[in-house]
Structure 1
Amino acid sequence: MSEKIRLAAMDIDGTLLGKNKKLTDYTIEVLDRAAAAGIHIVIASGRALQAIPETLCRVEGIEYVITSNGSSVFSLKNQERIFEKDMTSEQIMMILDFYRNYECPMEIFIKGIPYTSEEYFRFPERFGAFGSAAEYVKTTRNPVKDIRAFAMEHKDEIEGINFIMNHMELKTEMREKLEAMGGIYVTSSVPRYIEISHGDVCKYAALKWLANELNICPEEIIAFGDGENDLEMIQYAGIGVAMENGIDRVKKAADRIAPSCDENGVARVLEEFL
């Protein structure tokens, strides 16, 4: 491995995983080889810890997982939350007050566990989640009867909130209002989501914290991503890599473009440094 690269950070959906949501043997082999060469392998996802694919958690070379768009960093070996930046109770109250005017599903993340309403959990197709997306909801979310009351009860320990959108016009309206509130981080990893965290949170901030803990400078980091929530991380890394299937904004900010997630793009670029 190049002496410059000491840490490789990578998104999951649309980056490590393609349309079939499976990690290929080739990618696992390259990640293990990189780790054996002394590179810290870090997953950086909008997912909560409980929603990280089991196949990824079993890859021996992966040490750390940045979750909930940077609200948490977990040591994968012992499942310990080593960095946390939850939303404040005031932010939660502000968002719940805003949410009174809308009927879209809501998800909340608490200590790595994602919760959502029973209706969305049972019938995700009603809200635009079909096929693998519907399966993802049913296998990773924990249903509660009254998600608003549940959020109120846990307002002091929420990592982040997702709103699930089935109509893009409504998403635009809600996002503009949320961003106008200030003090919160608003992003979108996939078109159906509005993702909200503390204003000091993003993948870049969590990655910077972890790099400082490991005494690694930005020039020694390579980062891979495809979506809006990967932008700051791509800009921070010494080598920012956007996937061919990524959005234009991320590709313009990147130092180079990798083959698509369906072509083992992460592994093919990372292997160049081996």
Structure 2
Amino acid sequence: MRKIKLVAMDVDGTLIGKNKILTRRTKDTLTAAAAQNIHLVVASGRALQAVPEELIQIPGMEYVITSNGSSVFRLSDRKRIYGRDMTPEQIEKLLEFYEDYDCPMEAFICGVPYTSKTYFDHPENFGAGPLSVNYVRTTRHPVPDMRNFVKRHENEIEGINFIIHDMELKASMRRQLETFEGLYVTSSVPRYIEISHGSVCKRSALLWLAEELNIPQQQIAAFGDGENDLEMIQYAGFGVAMGNAVELLKQASDFIAPPCEEDGVACVLEQFF
């Protein structure tokens, strides 16, 4: 039996399905894993304040990797113990790029997500379904002028998101952004382009945390479903793609779990204890 000392898990599409519900089976399995002295780590593209509290409150949940690897928070005191923010120069270049577009923008600052007021007021106008509308309204802080807000906070930004409902426009914007030096560009859900410092991803934050905890790569399991989980899945000694994962993640994984909607994480972890 493979020995696992740390489990890193994405949130959306991995621990929580389309209904935004964390199931009792998953909660119980994670609690049981922690009781076996397995370190539990959430690894999300979300900002800390947007990570479900019921997930954070699971007994034994210790750390949260947020903003696609830009930060690591210790849950016992909600302290940011690792961080790599974007540089003012990167922010200036993104704002210059953004002048040509009218899509909503989000910024994550020390665990808090801010978004364009137009998006906060009417997420449905930008492709959000009913559950996503509720998610936006309960996790985001609306800002009337995101350009000026981001400029004022250019020294403390973990990541920037652009929200684009038009997939052709999104593809065009992403192609341009990927030519910018020093940026990490990814997408966890179809409507989002997520941007952070080029030195970070979920893998880099997980590697840092594993070294801090003195846990070898071979004893790490990681679960994910999206493009932004790729580097983490490739790094982990046991990389698991959900049954609902994108194809490139399945190809890179060591194992394919049942889909999120079928408690895939729990199904796999139950085999370890």
Q: TM-score, structure 1 length as denominator?
A: 0.99
Q: Take 1:19 and 1:194, find their aligned partners in 2: how far apart are those partners? A: 20
Please state whether the residue corresponding to 2:222 is helix, strand or coil.
Answer: strand
CA-to-aligned-CA distance 1:61-104 (integer Å, 9 cap, x gap):
21000000000000011100000000000000000000000000
The match for 1:116 is 115
Counterpart of 2:149 in structure 1: which amino acid?
Answer: F
The match for 1:147 is 146
CA-to-aligned-CA distance 1:101-158 (integer Å, 9 cap, x gap):
0000000000000001111100011111121111111110000110100000000000
The match for 1:179 is 178
- 2:241 is aligned with 1:254: no
The match for 2:54 is 55
The match for 1:44 is 43
CA-to-aligned-CA distance 1:248-270 (integer Å, 9 cap, x gap):
00000000100000000001101
CA-to-aligned-CA distance 1:146-189 (integer Å, 9 cap, x gap):
01000000000000000001100000110000000120000000
- 2:18 is aligned with 1:19: yes
Q: Take 2:46 and 2:214, find their aligned partners in 1: how far apart are those partners? A: 26
Counterpart of 2:194 in structure 1: which amino acid?
Answer: E
Equivalent runs, 1:30-179 vs 2, <5 Å = 30-179=29-178
Please state whether the residue corresponding to 1:139 is helix, strand or coil.
Answer: helix
| Offset of residue 217 of structure 1 | 1.0
Please state whether the residue corresponding to 1:213 is helix, strand or coil.
Answer: helix
Counterpart of 1:96 in structure 2: which amino acid?
Answer: L
Please state whether the residue corresponding to 1:143 is helix, strand or coil.
Answer: strand
Counterpart of 2:154 in structure 1: which amino acid?
Answer: K
Q: Take 2:38 and 2:16, find their aligned partners in 1: how far apart are those partners? A: 20
| Offset of residue 202 of structure 1 | 0.2
| Offset of residue 4 of structure 1 | 2.0
Calculate the aligned-residue CA RMSD, in Å: 0.7
Counterpart of 1:78 in structure 2: which amino acid?
Answer: D
Q: TM-score, structure 2 length as denominator?
A: 0.99
Q: Take 1:164 and 1:253, find their aligned partners in 2: how far apart are those partners? A: 27
The match for 1:207 is 206
The runs of at least 4 aligned residues of structure 1 exceeding 2 Å deviation read none
| Offset of residue 3 of structure 1 | 6.6
Higher mean displacement: 54-63 or 151-160 = 54-63
Q: Which runs of 5+ in 2 are unaligned?
A: none
Counterpart of 2:225 in structure 1: which amino acid?
Answer: D
The match for 1:242 is 241
| Offset of residue 22 of structure 1 | 0.8
Number of residue pairs the alignment of both structures matches:
273
Counterpart of 1:209 in structure 2: which amino acid?
Answer: W
Q: Take 1:238 and 1:149, find their aligned partners in 2: how far apart are those partners? A: 43
Please state whether the residue corresponding to 2:156 is helix, strand or coil.
Answer: coil
Counterpart of 2:80 in structure 1: which amino acid?
Answer: R
Q: Take 1:196 and 1:226, find their aligned partners in 2: how far apart are those partners? A: 18
- 2:221 is aligned with 1:222: yes
Q: Take 1:219 and 1:106, find their aligned partners in 2: how far apart are those partners? A: 38
Counterpart of 2:199 in structure 1: which amino acid?
Answer: D
Q: Take 1:267 and 1:45, find their aligned partners in 2: how far apart are those partners? A: 18
Q: Take 1:124 and 1:73, find their aligned partners in 2: how far apart are those partners? A: 28
